[in-house]
Amino acid sequence: MSAPSLTDLRLRYEPLLRSFSDSIASSIDDSRSSPRLRIPLSAIRSYDANLSNMLIVDPLRHLRAMEVVAHEVGLEERPGYDLKSGAGEEGRVRVGIGGPVKGSADGPRELGSAELRRLVCVEGVAVKVSRVVHQSHQG
């Protein structure tokens, strides 16, 4: 089974994000540069359980689709909102997902390569962050 296209995902997320139109409008009003909308994962689960499962496995494609729809809803609610800051793409509504992905949150030390490209919920405090430099070796 192939992954759904961005257009298919936009159509599936549109009714859900339209139900958040008041939240989108208030995030635009409260923001100076980049409005943010936080959607509880439980709301996506109750809207469409299959869609939430696909989101966990491939979050980037789903977040992009939700941001496109949130931007369209934002333009309907507050025409020209993305032009007021002069930030272009950076001034568009950004979507975040909140809430537990599974029974309990993981700690930073519990994350492994199996979680790459998956949506995870991590509890902890970052006291030092460093850039990971990937090296490839020929053998």
Domain boundaries, the chain: 6-102
Query: What is the structure's pLDDT at 39?
Result: 93
Range of weakest confidence among 1-15, 23-37, 49-63, 112-126: 112-126
Query: What is the structure's pLDDT at 98?
Result: 85
| Cβ 82 vs Cβ 71: under 8 Å | yes
DSSP string, 88-117: GGGGSPEEEEES-SSSSPBPGGG--GGGTT
pTM here?
Answer: 0.75
101-130 pLDDT, tens digit each? 776 677 777 777 777 777 777 777 677 777
Query: What is the structure's pLDDT at 76?
Result: 92
11-24 pLDDT, tens digit each? 999 999 999 999 99
Q: Is the confidence at residue 137, as pLDDT, over 80?
A: no
The topology (CATH level 3) of 6-102 is mini-chromosome maintenance (MCM) complex, chain A, domain 1 (3.30.1640)
Query: What is the structure's pLDDT at 67?
Result: 93
E strand intervals along the chain = 36-40, 94-98
Phi, psi of 106 (to 5 degrees): -90, 160
Query: What is the structure's pLDDT at 88?
Result: 60
Q: Write the burial class of residue 44 (CB in 10 Å: 0-12 exposed, 13-18 middle, 19+ buried).
A: buried
What is the spatial distance between Cα 18 and Cα 11, in angstroms, rounded to a whole number? 11
Give CA torsion, residues 111, 116, 122, 127, to 10 deg: 70
Of 132 and 61, more confident: 61
